[in-house]
């Protein structure tokens, strides 16, 4: 849509402001990036979706309203930009006026763009994260092709913790205004407003007090060994977030309260399920243009959106965790943030256990400042120690500004800044920096510096001091440089920005220290396994070395079944009692024995997925703490053609094993009645996978629709036994026939994979005759595998018996469903 010079010209031209109470269009100066949704009963009912951007509200009319179901693509017609004041409008537009009808404030909050907004609008694809009362998590607007008068877009929910399979679950039951509590009919009658509960969490505990943050010691090389976890070194402002009765308070590393300075960022913590908490993290600019640090300076000055990367949890609900181990704090933090939408303003920092040098190398190649390495068994000390180490890709240092050299060029405030650092109780000269300044930055620095007559440092060389102008030594500059000369001054320095979060009196030069000793290693199948004696399954006495040997043993058979399939790895680097997490992308630090394939995801972006091609791929993943392997239903050579269909029988807590086992046989027989032969895998948990191998003749949509229909028919015919929706409430006393594993990107546990559960159970393919005699789904252990490998594999028999979802099979299912 071509925009006039005045963004609100179209809005104003359509309205008679003597007749309507809508606000007159004026370009605003808001910077909080709000969004608002207004339920609008005009010619026909729709929802007006609006995003604050560059002083106006970008607007779309969503005809059926937004849906949390990612499979629902809701038509969103682009309309004229609206003024920011419209975000507070609720009332009735008179009949005969443009958009005449009742308007309700249905939702509002903040939004976070994922990528360049202008480019997204031009290209027809805008991704963002919402934090509202009704709409939350990741969303995408995609422009449809065509030459219509108006731009037709589609509003689509991303797959995350806020997604559901209920198409209208978002708009159903939300028929009152979020600000006045009125219904549409009450708004139309101009009824008085009702009391509306504060949308912010009603936290009952006091905000935890600020504590001194843990600081890292600079070293030359990244530590090796399984005892270390490694994170990207963020180039922003260190921040402690205190949550409690007064909301969220945000503190700098020196204890300054910057809640107001960080603006709307504090609302990002509202969704956390706690009464109080103290989180450690780093504030960054949401959009990086140039260096990360200069982007943050610009975002703070101009009001652009910020993000908070959380990397430690110091207290939760009045319980202090600073004396607990790093890995335990990390696990608690991950659990606390588990419901936070990916890509939002609040994010969990990524980390990799072990492989420090490789992680550091990849960080530098990606342009990062460096990495932070943390001992996984260390407490939080609140001081600088060797339990946290920092390794820098380039020389970066804070310096105190002690003066400047005047410039002889017109319009340039100075030629270079003179820098110093505190050493031995006095301020010492450390050189000059003359690059990295824009005209705007120079003007800001000139206003910030306070003149003084004498030099703050006594050792400034005469040739430098001769023309220097001295300033009060209270400003801290972040500078990138190549090295220190023999005289101790910087070479090839570049100014990055001022550090308002650091005290000039505390600025000293950091010199790398020696890194600590690392642990012993051993080899399994040619793969180096560090800390092989670490207990991974404490109750079973199984170690990391045992896990690696298990995958060495079953690896050849597993590769025949799961080779060349994209994987999701379930990693527990410290054992099942420590932090565990899924990893499907190569985020850096994963071994070269695992292969990579670039896959376009549902949002259109591509990511590198991992897959295995040989047994040592599985062992190498085990070295990285991988316990479970979950597989796609397609192989990397034809990702659009699934060759595996699986139903996961997931019982409610109250059901016994015989119920699940009987259900497996019932599904087998129902599939057989359609002409499909299937096999069974006991999952090592509570359930059974009934699965079959497919000829690659159908796409994902057909396979997904078939499995969904089959599951729903089974549930409809046996409602007292089965349910086909993921709702926990509806599952009570029933078995969930999980058909959702049959869509692109979904995974199922791999045969012969360990499960990260007490006892170290294994998911094992079985014959139907064996299944009839089994006492549980989790009865197989590592020690049982040698005997099973001496026998024919039931899964290989199923994999070689290719089935087809023919038209006749689909017709039979249709007839069955109609009967």
**Residue numbers annotated as active site:** 233
- For residue 789, give the 3-state DSSP assignment: helix
Cα-based torsion angle of the residue sequence 364, 368, 369, 374 in order, rounded to the nearest 10 degrees: -80
Nearest C-alpha neighbor of 706 from the set 630, 565, 800, 817: 817
Paired with 392 in beta bridges are 370
* 11 contacts 80 by C-beta, under 8 angstroms: yes
Q: Among the residues of 424-518, which ranges form H helices?
A: 439-448, 462-465
* 180 contacts 189 by C-beta, under 8 angstroms: no
Nearest C-alpha neighbor of 139 from the set 150, 151, 154: 154
Nearest C-alpha neighbor of 417 from the set 456, 458, 451, 445: 445
Phi (first) and psi of residue 726, to 5 degrees: -80, -5
What token pair was written down for 193? 């407003």
* 684 contacts 763 by C-beta, under 8 angstroms: yes
Q: How far is Cα 130 from Cα 112, in angstroms, rounded to an integer?
A: 7
Nearest C-alpha neighbor of 679 from the set 741, 768, 770: 768
Those residues whose C-beta lies under 8 Å from the C-beta of residue 598, and which sit 6 or more positions away, are 606, 607, 608, 609
Nearest C-alpha neighbor of 371 from the set 216, 542, 248: 216
What token pair was written down for 691? 């699965």
* 605 contacts 598 by C-beta, under 8 angstroms: no
- For residue 479, give the 3-state DSSP assignment: strand
| Residue whose tokens read 């202090």 | 320
Q: How many CA atoms lie within 13 A of 508 on its CB side?
A: 10
Nearest C-alpha neighbor of 274 from the set 216, 340, 214: 340
Those residues whose C-beta lies under 8 Å from the C-beta of residue 483, and which sit 6 or more positions away, are 395, 490, 491, 492
| Residue whose tokens read 């992308």 | 585
Q: How many CA atoms lie within 13 A of 229 on its CB side?
A: 24
b/e string for 342-366 if b means 16 or more Cβ within 10 A?
Answer: ebbbbbbbbbbbbbbebbbbbbbee
Those residues whose C-beta lies under 8 Å from the C-beta of residue 408, and which sit 6 or more positions away, are 415
Q: 10 Å Cβ neighbour count for 492?
A: 11
Distances (CA, A) of 756 to 354, 539, 675, 681, 778: 20, 12, 36, 17, 12
Phi (first) and psi of residue 796, to 5 degrees: -65, -40
Contacts of 208-212 with CB under 8 Å at 24 or more apart are: 208/242, 208/243, 208/244, 208/276, 208/277, 208/278, 208/314, 208/315, 209/242, 210/240, 210/242, 210/251, 210/255, 211/240, 211/278, 211/314, 211/322, 211/382, 212/255, 212/382, 212/383
- For residue 285, give the 3-state DSSP assignment: strand
Beta strands in 258-353 (DSSP E): 277-285, 306-316, 319-320, 346-348, 351-353
Those residues whose C-beta lies under 8 Å from the C-beta of residue 500, and which sit 6 or more positions away, are 476
What token pair was written down for 654? 């109250």
Paired with 138 in beta bridges are 129
């Amino acid at each position: 849509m071509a925009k006039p010079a005045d963004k609100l010209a179209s809005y104003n031209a359509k309205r008679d402001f003597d007749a309507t109470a809508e606000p007159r269009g004026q370009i605003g100066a808001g910077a909080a990036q709000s969004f608002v949704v207004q339920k609008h009963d005009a010619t026909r009912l729709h929802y007006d979706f609006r995003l604050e951007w560059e002083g106006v509200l970008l607007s779309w009319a969503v005809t059926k309203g937004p849906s949390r179901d990612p499979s629902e693509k809701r038509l969103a017609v682009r309309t004229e930009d609206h003024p920011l004041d419209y975000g507070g409008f609720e009332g009735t537009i008179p009949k005969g006026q443009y958009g005449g009808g009742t308007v309700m404030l249905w939702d509002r909050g903040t939004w976070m763009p994922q990528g360049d907004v202008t480019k997204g609008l031009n290209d027809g694809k805008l991704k963002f994260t919402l934090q509202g009362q009704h709409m939350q998590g990741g969303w995408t607007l995609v422009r449809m092709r065509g030459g219509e008068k108006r731009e037709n877009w589609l509003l689509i929910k991303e797959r995350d913790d806020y997604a559901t399979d209920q198409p209208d679950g978002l708009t159903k039951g939300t028929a009152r205004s979020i600000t006045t509590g009125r219904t549409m009919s009450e708004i139309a009658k101009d009824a008085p407003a009702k009391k509306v509960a504060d949308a912010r969490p009603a936290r009952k505990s006091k905000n935890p007090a600020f504590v001194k943050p843990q600081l890292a010691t600079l070293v030359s090389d990244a530590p090796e060994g399984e005892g270390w976890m490694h994170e990207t070194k963020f180039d922003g402002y260190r921040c402690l977030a205190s949550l409690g009765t007064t909301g969220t308070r945000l503190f700098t590393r020196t204890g300054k309260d910057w809640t107001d300075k960080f603006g709307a960022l504090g609302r990002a913590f509202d969704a956390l399920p706690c009464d109080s908490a103290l989180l450690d993290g780093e504030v960054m600019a949401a959009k990086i243009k140039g260096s990360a640090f200069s982007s943050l300076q610009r975002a703070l000055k101009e009001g652009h959106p910020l993000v908070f990367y959380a990397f430690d949890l110091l207290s939760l609900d009045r319980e202090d965790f600073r004396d607990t181990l790093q890995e335990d704090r990390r696990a608690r933090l991950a659990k606390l943030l588990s419901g936070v939408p990916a890509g939002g303003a609040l994010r969990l920092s990524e980390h990799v256990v072990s492989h420090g040098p490789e992680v550091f190398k990849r960080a530098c190649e990606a342009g990062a400042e460096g990495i932070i390495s943390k001992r996984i068994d260390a407490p939080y000390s609140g001081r600088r120690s060797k339990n946290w180490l920092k390794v820098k890709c380039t020389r970066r240092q804070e310096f105190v500004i002690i003066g400047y050299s005047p410039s002889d060029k017109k319009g340039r405030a100075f030629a270079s800044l003179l820098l110093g650092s505190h050493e031995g109780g006095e301020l010492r000269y450390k050189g000059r920096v003359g690059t990295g300044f824009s005209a705007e930055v120079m003007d800001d620095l000139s206003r910030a510096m306070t003149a003084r007559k004498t030099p703050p440092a006594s050792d400034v060389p005469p040739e430098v001091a001769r023309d220097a102008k001295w300033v009060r030594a209270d400003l801290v500059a972040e500078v990138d440089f190549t090295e220190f000369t023999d005289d101790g001054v910087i070479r090839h320095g570049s100014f990055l920005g001022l550090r308002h979060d650091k005290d000039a009196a505390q600025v000293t030069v950091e010199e790398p220290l020696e890194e600590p000793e690392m642990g012993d290693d051993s080899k399994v199948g040619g793969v180096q396994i560090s800390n092989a004696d670490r207990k991974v399954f404490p109750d079973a006495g199984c170690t990391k070395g045992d896990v690696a040997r298990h995958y060495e043993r079953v690896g050849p058979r597993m590769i025949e079944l799961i080779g060349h399939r994209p994987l999701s790895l379930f990693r527990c680097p410290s054992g099942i009692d420590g932090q565990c997490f899924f990893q499907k992308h190569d985020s850096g630090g994963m071994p070269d024995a695992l292969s990579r394939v670039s896959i376009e995801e549902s949002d259109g972006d591509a990511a590198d997925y991992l897959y295995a091609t040989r047994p040592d791929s599985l062992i190498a993943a085990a070295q990285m703490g991988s316990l479970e392997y979950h597989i796609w239903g397609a192989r990397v050579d034809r990702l659009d053609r699934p060759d595996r269909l699986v139903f996961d029988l997931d019982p409610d807590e109250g059901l016994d094993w015989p119920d699940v086992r009987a259900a497996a046989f019932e599904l087998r027989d129902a599939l057989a009645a359609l002409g499909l032969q299937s096999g069974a895998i006991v999952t090592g948990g509570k359930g059974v996978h009934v699965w079959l191998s497919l000829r690659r003749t159908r796409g994902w949509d057909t396979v997904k629709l078939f499995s969904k229909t089959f599951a729903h028919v089974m549930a409809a015919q046996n409602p007292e036994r089965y349910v086909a929706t993921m709702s926990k409430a509806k599952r009570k006393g029933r078995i969930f026939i999980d058909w959702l594993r049959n869509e692109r990107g979904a995974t199922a546990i791999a045969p012969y994979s360990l499960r990260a559960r007490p006892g170290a159970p294994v998911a094992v393919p079985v014959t139907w005759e064996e299944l009839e005699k089994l006492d549980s789904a989790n009865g197989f252990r590592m020690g049982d595998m040698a005997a099973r490998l001496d026998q024919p594999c039931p899964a290989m028999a199923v994999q070689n018996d290719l089935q087809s979802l023919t038209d006749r099979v689909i017709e039979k299912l249709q007839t069955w469903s109609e009967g």
